[in-house]
Amino acid sequence: MTESRLFLGVERSATGRAWRDRLDDRGSARALAIAQRHELPELLARILAGRNVEADAVETFLEPTIKHSMPDPYVLTTMKEAAIRIADGIERRECFAIFGDYDVDGATSAALLARFLHQCGIEPIIHIPDRLFEGYGPNVDAVRALAARGATLMVCVDCGTTSIEPLQKAKELGVDVVVIDHHQADETLPPAIAVVNPNRRDDLSGLGHLAAVGLTFMTVVAINRTLRERGFWRADRPEPDLLGFLDDVALGTVADVVPLTGLNRAFVAKGLIALRRRERAGHVSPMDVARLAGPPEAWHLGFLLGPRINAGGRIGRADLGVRLLIENDPIEAAKIAAELDRLNRERQTIEQDTLAQAEAEAIAALGLEEKGAVVVTAAEGWHPGIVGLVAARLKEKFGRPAFAIALEPGGLGTGSGRSISGVDIGRAVRRAVSDGLLIKGGGHAMAAGVTLRKAALGELRAYLEAALASEVEIARRSNGLMIDGAVTAAAANADLVAMIGRAGPFGAGNPEPVIALPAHTVTYAEDIGQAHVRVRLQSADGTSMNAMAFRAAGQRLGAALRDSRGLRVHAAGSFALDRYQGEERVQFRLTDIAPAEPLVGRKT
């Protein structure tokens, strides 16, 4: 594919990026074919073509369905064994234990399975490990405790693939184990009845992009089918509507930042419909406490609901998130949601303080010229529950893979890494473990966790620099802002937002369209709160529109906006409907600007 053209001639923007047309010549031809064959607006056709949608696939892309997207669950290695063993346990009314991860994907996976088991007449024990005292995944002490409580079947969700010793202990104690996970697998798998993981080396399903909650849904589909074939469902025990579980699937899928393509996109599209019905207290309460106005969109799950569900696992009680999701009593759900909201505010304060320290350390390490492939920061006193968030912020600021590590007084450090597109940090971390540099570590291409000795910190920095330098150089060289199209403020109305939304839900793998506003005047730009910049843009015909540059205060974009007051700029960002006090207004979410030079008649 040829390199995309510069968009509006922008070679270097306020954030240091070239703006590039998302479509090359071949993509432009595809957009024209889509627009003509399906009678779609040019902008929507460009958006679809920019996501590699062919003309023949437009209808199924615009109307994603589970039926069309989901294969038979048995395409996953050992899924049949998992479904049979869990169905046997349901019929025998065994004591089930669900062992989940402490993040949103783990909480939604555990909640979904628990909800299904409840409808089967089973009350499972749910264990979410404490991030500080137990760490990630099954541990021997927890396995012993679950066995002592009578568990004979343990289902690990969003964890367990590398937990060989704890699951060996489960086997010794007579507890059968089924693992439902998506983390990358080693050659040796734990002793379990089934390890349902599309990222194990002998799995050919091609479903490695699913979050654990999506895999849990597929497992429930397989179990339900097995029970149906055995005549388990009766008039007094009706078969559940599995599509009703897609609210949890949507929340976990978006929060885990897996690609919103194929089946994941269908999961989220249908899950949002379930969430908009506001039928479950465990979802309505966090929406209300987050003051969510209007129907939830995919970005609300990632930025409003997900962080609150996550807050318990980060700095509070690890099981609060899953407790909320399975709670049916509106009053009790409201209490849990309020506590999670309080913990989330506390988490934000801790994160801001830690991020300021980490940014200062990163700037000192990279230097004024920002040399280096990877950002690795570490300090004593950092809360282990927020290092992943800090790593994500560092990655955004410096455009490199970033690690944040909380050092303990005893000499150990636990941390998280976040990567940029095209750089696989999970692979590098696993190699570091096998080379003896890390005590523990794992993850996937975009996120990883590490445990190491403080003395090995310098060696880890050098190792990651050497291992990732070439990938990072290639990724950063191609780091441009991809633009989907251009409009003026006069065209920015609710119909435009709805038209763009037809290509959603947007997220990782299906990026929100970036639209340019050419040659608009910045009539107002002021900081709001501690992190954002409120902006007003005016087109040549005098039409004004409100814009917001989130997390831009104190950054290059924020400074450029203030310096551009009264000047014409090309602005880039995305459109959304801002709902406030019952009113709907179109808002432009600014991500970048560039000085507006006289246009030379080039068509975009």
Q: Which residue has the tokens 């194990």?
A: 200
- pLDDT bin (cut points 50, 70, 90) of residue 368 is low
- pLDDT bin (cut points 50, 70, 90) of residue 584 is confident
In-domain check, residue 410: yes
CATH number at residue 580: 2.40.50.110
Asked if residue 557 and residue 464 are part of one domain, the reply reads no
3-class DSSP state for residue 288? helix
To the nearest whole percent, how much of the chain has pLDDT over 90? 85
Domain boundary among 458, 477, 496: 477
Structurally, the chain folds into a number of domains equal to 3
Cβ atoms of residues 199 and 185 within 8 Å: yes
Could you read off the pLDDT of 369-419 as tens digits, one per residue? 678 899 999 999 999 999 999 999 999 889 899 999 999 988 899 999 999
Asked if residue 455 and residue 553 are part of one domain, the reply reads no
Could you read off the pLDDT of 345-359 as tens digits, one per residue? 999 999 999 999 999
Asked if residue 489 and residue 465 are part of one domain, the reply reads no
Asked if residue 130 and residue 101 are part of one domain, the reply reads yes
In-domain check, residue 25: yes
What is the pLDDT averaged over residues 542-547? 96
DSSP lists the bridge partners of residue 180 as: 157, 196
Residue 2 has pLDDT above 50, yes or no: no
In-domain check, residue 42: no
Could you read off the pLDDT of 84-113 as tens digits, one per residue? 999 999 999 999 999 999 999 999 999 999
Alpha helices in 120-211 (DSSP H): 140-148, 164-172
Q: Tell me whether residue 583 is exposed, middle or buried, using C-beta atoms within 10 angstroms of its C-beta: 0 to 12, 13 to 18, 19 or more.
A: exposed
Could you read off the pLDDT of 495-524 as tens digits, one per residue? 999 999 999 999 988 999 999 999 999 999
Asked if residue 375 and residue 235 are part of one domain, the reply reads no
Alpha helices in 435-578 (DSSP H): 457-477, 494-501, 556-563
Query: Please, what is the end-to-end C-alpha distance for the chain in angstroms?
Result: 19
Cβ atoms of residues 482 and 38 within 8 Å: no
Owning domain of residue 540: 19-30+484-595
Could you read off the pLDDT of 338-347 as tens digits, one per residue? 999 999 999 9
Domain boundary among 231, 257, 283: 257
Asked if residue 451 and residue 392 are part of one domain, the reply reads yes
What is the pLDDT averaged over residues 245-274? 96
In-domain check, residue 4: no
CATH number at residue 145: 3.90.1640.30
Degrees (nearest 5) of the Cα angle 483, 17, 30?
25
Q: What does the DSSP 8-state code read for residue 512?
A: P
What is d(CA 205, CA 74) in angstroms, rounded to the nearest whole number? 9
In-domain check, residue 500: yes
Domain boundary among 436, 459, 477: 477
Asked if residue 235 and residue 162 are part of one domain, the reply reads yes
Could you read off the pLDDT of 142-172 as tens digits, one per residue? 999 999 999 999 999 999 999 999 999 999 9
